[in-house]
Structure 1
Amino acid sequence: MYMQYDNGVPADRIMGALWIKSTASQGAGNCVEVAELPDGRVAVRNSRHPSGPALVYTRQEMAAFVAGARDGEFDGLTA
């Protein structure tokens, strides 16, 4: 049996999480990290606060976000 994790869980309490970040990260501490959870959902955390809260998304939610990012829907947020 696995733990059920909800939004806001302290990221360092997610047992066995293998956090990964983009190779585009420059090491300046401004990285978003993701980890696959045992139930297939995806946790997201801020690398500057590794024990801070994690947001938890379904695969479908992550796919929608990635598709939107790929299509440039959020480009105005990075300018």
Structure 2
Amino acid sequence: MESFANGVPATEIEGVTWVKSSASNPEGNCVEIAQLTDGGFAVRNSRHPEGPALVYTRDEIAAFVEGARRGDFGFVSG
């Protein structure tokens, strides 16, 4: 089981499937997420797939998703 640190080039994370939201705009300006073998998740910018990835634990992602469901980040939407 391989572990990755924040800022690792996304191209170094092999054997994962990057997923982009179906709500992404036509220009592809979105983030992509991949589940890691250690149970964590990596997030990258879809416009720069070779750029750095941010790495989060399952609990961190779960807290973010729950916050989004509750509307905690409503200030982000236009």
Scaled by the length of structure 2, the TM-score of the pair is 0.93
**Runs of at least 5 residues in structure 1 that lack an aligned partner in the other structure:** none
Please give the residue correspondences for 1:1-79 in structure 2 after superposition, counting only pairs within 5 Å: 2-79=1-78
SS of residue matched to 1:55 = strand
Q: Deviations over 1:23-56 (max 9, x none)?
A: 1112312111000000000000000000100000
RMSD of Structure 2 on Structure 1 (CA): 1.0
Cα distance in structure 1, aligned partners of 2:53 and 2:66: 21
**Runs of at least 5 residues in structure 2 that lack an aligned partner in the other structure:** none
4+ aligned runs moved over 6 Å, structure 1 = none
Equivalent residues, number: 78
% identical aligned pairs: 60
